[in-house]
Chain A
Amino acid sequence: MSTSSNGHRLGYRYAEQYTPPEPERVSDVAITTHEHVFEVDPRLMERWVLQQTFPNWDSLRIMNSRGDHLEWMHRHFANHVIPGSALLAEVDQEDHQE
């Protein structure tokens, strides 16, 4: 089977879904797993609230949906977004010329 347009291999396979990528530490309290997905250090969820069973597709669904939602919110409030980096570059350039 080849991959779909979003880069994922077609089809659901149980074993694959419950094998998340090897975590990498990003701070004392957080790790990363899938690309762009931060997660709590699991040691902080051992006492009062236990983590749920989370297949890979669900983590990715939430992460992608968040991006879609934020994009939607921008369009809901304005037709487009001006990137601040462009304005900062102009300011820096003007300062440099002075």
Chain B
Amino acid sequence: MTQLDESQDSLSVPFTPGMADNPEDLATFPDEVARPLLPLADDASPSEQFAAQWRNASYNCYSSGHKFCREVCPVMQVTRNESWAPTAFHANVVAMEKGEMDIADVAADYVNCTQCGACELRCPNTLFTGDFYRFRTRTVDVVKAARAFAVEQGIHQPGWKTWNERTNERVHEPVLGETPVSQEHVRDWSAGLDLPIGGETVLFVDCEAAFYRTSVPRAVAQVLKLAGYEFGLMGEQWCCGGPAAEMGYVDQAQRFARHNLDNWRSTGTKRVLVLDPHDYISFTEDYPKYFGDEFDIEVVLVVELFAQLLREGKLTPSVPVERTITYHDPCRLNKRKGIWEEPREILRAIPGLTFHDVDRVTQWSYCSGGGGGLPVEKPELTAAISAGRVEKAAALEVDTLVSACPWSERPLGEAGEAHSIDVVDIHEMLAASLGIEVGGSRHGGAA
């Protein structure tokens, strides 16, 4: 359409690069600046080698610098310290690539993350173009990798070091409660429920639920029995390894994962039911990375299964629960997996509830602070984040905050005391509405 005069060429008119009918001369301009990427120098420092792996992932953040992550990040909300903003975790990698910083300079900063995934999701590079390019912001992966790199370089955070040593000794996380954390006691929560071991479907119970909030697995097991759903307990369950992976103890995480996969194999297990969102991440993100095609275990989230059983009429809640509630979207379900409808389906099926819901997008900026090892190293930040979350619930004038994540329930429960807000697990609440006397402990008491 445009008549080209002599001074004009194919760059004088609009075009979409890569189109089949673009002028051929677009490929012929010599480039005065751009150069092929140089391979790493032989004498590159470990930090430079690390940065080379994460270069493009971090540049994708650094080069945009939008910082839309900042106001949704739970740590930023309570510290307002930009050194701990999700963008900083990427900028540090770029600084390492440029030789400006070393892992020793930044290792402690990477503590300040719950791996909730809000930053990644809210980032326009994910939300607007991540699916288009199959390339999204990977803050959680970068944080995990930086922590692992620090450990590899012998830089330990004292709380995490001890935690993982103890986990290694006991094969379960050293959650504090009256039940001793050890292999002999991992099934204590199920006392009196008469559950089989092994089988095609097993229920995996995370460390916090198995040893501290035992009311949760008891509720889950009894609801499943009521629905006539066949399942067993794991032959020899170890910690999923996820927390070790989150804190940078990669070898330990993989060793635990290997044990669990082998153990499932040994009991003929094809399907694992998961009640804890953190385990769900381990089994659907970490294990596939470790094992690739070998990972042929089906992973089913209990909240999704319960919603289905309700839909199918296999569960009919009939005991009214006279409470005014709001629901806390666990980060690993809502933000990291996009699972938010099923918990609401369950809550809407429970008679008696007055439900003041807060939409899932608003909740991208909500968190309990209980994830990513933060409560181990910086319990004061976890407490502040939980306090902020509970304040939002209090503004709705509810008496109960329902969660679907055992790891959130301890810090939220503690924060709830100041507002007389009870923190109840969704599985417990459904069980109550089905007339089940759940039993167990919500506060770490022995079963």
CB within 8 Å for A12 and B298 given contacts A57-B337, A72-B359: yes
CB within 8 Å for A2 and B361 given contacts A28-B20, A40-B132, A65-B127: no
Is chain A's binding surface mostly helix, strand, loop or mixed? mixed
Contact among B20, B271, B288 for A14, CB-based, below 8 A: B288
Residue of B nearest to A42 (CB): B134
The reply on A91 being an interface residue by CB < 8 A is no
Tally of A interface residues using CB under 8 Å: 44
Digitize B120-142: 1 where CB-to-A-CB distance is under 8 Å, 0 elsewhere: 01000011101111111010000
The reply on B252 being an interface residue by CB < 8 A is no
5 A-B interface contacts by CB (under 8 A): A4-B307, A6-B341, A27-B19, A29-B19, A40-B132
A69 to B340, CA, bound (A): 14
Cβ contacts under 8 Å, B136 to chain A? 52, 58, 62
Tell which of A5, A30, A72 has the most Cβ of chain B within 10 Å: A5
Cβ contacts under 8 Å, B359 to chain A? 72
A11 touches B300 (CB 8 A): yes
A66 to B271, CA, bound (A): 31
Cβ contacts under 8 Å, B298 to chain A? 11-13
CB distance from A2 to the nearest CB of B (A): 6
Restricting to B201-227, which residues have a CB under 8 Å from any CB of A? Answer: none
The reply on A88 being an interface residue by CB < 8 A is no
| Chain A residues in the interface with B (C-beta under 8 A) | 1-2, 4-6, 10-15, 17, 27-30, 37-41, 44-45, 48-52, 54-55, 57-66, 68-69, 71-72
Residue of B nearest to A5 (CB): B341
Contact among A1, A39, A61 for B132, CB-based, below 8 A: A39
A84 to B408, CA, bound (A): 44
CB distance from A84 to the nearest CB of B (A): 22
Residue of B nearest to A27 (CB): B19
Contact among B18, B56, B295, B296 for A29, CB-based, below 8 A: B18
Restricting to B361-399, which residues have a CB under 8 Å from any CB of A? Answer: 361-362
A67 to B136, CA, bound (A): 17
A54 to B361, CA, bound (A): 23
A41 to B18, CA, bound (A): 9
A55 to B284, CA, bound (A): 10
The reply on B293 being an interface residue by CB < 8 A is yes
A60 to B134, CA, bound (A): 11
CB within 8 Å for A11 and B311 given contacts A39-B131, A72-B361: no
A81 to B293, CA, bound (A): 47
CB within 8 Å for A68 and B361 given contacts A2-B308, A62-B127: yes
CB within 8 Å for A54 and B134 given contacts A10-B304, A62-B126, A66-B127: yes
Query: How extensive is the interface on chain B, given as a class?
Result: 35 or more
Cβ contacts under 8 Å, B133 to chain A? 39-40, 45, 49, 51
Q: 16 new A-B pairs (CB below 8 Å) besides A4-B304, A59-B134? A: A2-B308, A5-B345, A10-B300, A12-B284, A14-B295, A29-B16, A29-B18, A37-B131, A37-B132, A39-B132, A52-B135, A57-B337, A58-B136, A60-B338, A65-B127, A71-B361
A48 to B16, CA, bound (A): 18
The reply on B175 being an interface residue by CB < 8 A is no
The reply on B151 being an interface residue by CB < 8 A is no
The reply on B312 being an interface residue by CB < 8 A is yes
A49 to B133, CA, bound (A): 10
The reply on B283 being an interface residue by CB < 8 A is yes
A4 touches B18 (CB 8 A): no
Contact among A11, A30, A59, A64 for B271, CB-based, below 8 A: A11
Digitize B4-16: 1 where CB-to-A-CB distance is under 8 Å, 0 elsewhere: 0000000000001
Tell which of A17, A30, A38, A52 has the most Cβ of chain B within 10 Å: A52
Cβ contacts under 8 Å, A49 to chain B? 56, 60, 133, 135
CB within 8 Å for A45 and B304 given contacts A14-B288, A14-B293, A68-B360: no
The reply on B91 being an interface residue by CB < 8 A is no
Residue of B nearest to A44 (CB): B18
Cβ contacts under 8 Å, B121 to chain A? 62, 65
A72 to B341, CA, bound (A): 16
A82 to B330, CA, bound (A): 34
CB within 8 Å for A61 and B338 given contacts A10-B300, A12-B283, A14-B288: yes
CB distance from B163 to the nearest CB of A (A): 28
Contact among A51, A57, A71, A72 for B135, CB-based, below 8 A: A51
